[in-house]
């Protein structure tokens, strides 16, 4: 079900297992290095993509969807860890400048930061809707409003959290660009 010939999928899974074996001691410590975590996640992604971590039940279509959903989630985890590593030792302003520089090299749509709506579900209360506005400024200032109760004050960015927000918003911009690209071929 991986789309690869079985002998190739088996070899790919073996390589992922070898990477796992190399990293097991690095991951067995209380606070593994982010680089070790990223490579561990990469081994899991490769193994999953090659059909090694299928745990889904249901129809073949459900199993296929589940596998590739897992691959996408692992890929997102890898991106978050990569932004954490990239932000190490940087001041927030330097991280913003780097993100702006590298972001300008992205192909496709230029992303202008917009609004995201987050639903919170407190355990003992009714849900509260928070609207988070992310400014297009390179430092991405946030404003948060609530439909009821008090809106939380955003924590100050770290370089890593700023890079994660910037990266996620750029990926969202690319995905939305794929959906709304309506260039008229007749022009």
Where are the strands (E) in the chain, listed by range?
Answer: 115-120, 128-134, 142-146
User: Domain residue spans in the chain?
Assistant: 6-88, 95-180
Q: What is the pLDDT of residues 147-182, one digit of tens each?
A: 888 888 888 999 999 999 888 888 887 777 778 765
CA distance 100 to 53: 37
Contact 159, 95 (CB under 8 A): yes
Average pLDDT for 47-52: 91
Q: What are phi and psi of 128, to 5 degrees?
A: -125, 130
Strand (E) or helix (H) holding 173: helix 159-180
Contact 96, 140 (CB under 8 A): yes
| Helices within the chain (DSSP H only) | 6-27, 34-49, 60-87, 92-103, 159-180
Between the alpha carbon of residue 148 and those of residues 45, 79, 115, 128, the distances in Å are 40, 33, 18, 6
Q: What are the structure tokens assigned to 119, written together?
A: 């639903």
CA distance 52 to 2: 9
Q: What is the pLDDT of residues 60-104, one digit of tens each?
A: 888 889 999 999 999 999 999 999 999 999 999 999 998 888 876
Question: For 140, which DSSP code?
Answer: -
Mean model confidence pLDDT for the chain: 83
């Amino acid at each position: 079900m991986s789309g690869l010939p079985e002998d190739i999928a088996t070899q790919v899974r073996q390589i992922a297992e070898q990477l796992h074996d190399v990293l097991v001691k690095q991951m067995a410590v209380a606070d593994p290095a982010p680089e070790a975590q990223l490579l561990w996640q990469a081994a899991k992604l490769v193994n999953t993509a090659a059909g090694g971590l299928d745990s889904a039940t249901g129809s073949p279509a459900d199993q296929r969807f589940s596998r590739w959903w897992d691959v996408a989630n692992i890929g997102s985890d890898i991106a978050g860890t990569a932004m954490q590593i990239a932000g190490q030792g940087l001041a927030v302003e330097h991280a913003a400048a780097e993100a702006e520089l590298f972001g300008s090299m992205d192909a496709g749509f230029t992303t202008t930061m917009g609004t995201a709506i987050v639903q919170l579900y407190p355990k003992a209360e009714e849900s509260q809707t928070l609207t988070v506005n992310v400014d297009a400024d390179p430092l991405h200032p946030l404003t948060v409003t609530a439909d009821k109760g008090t809106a939380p004050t955003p924590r100050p960015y770290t370089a890593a959290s700023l890079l994660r927000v910037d990266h996620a918003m750029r990926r969202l911009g690319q995905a939305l660009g794929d959906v709304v690209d309506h260039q008229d071929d007749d022009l």
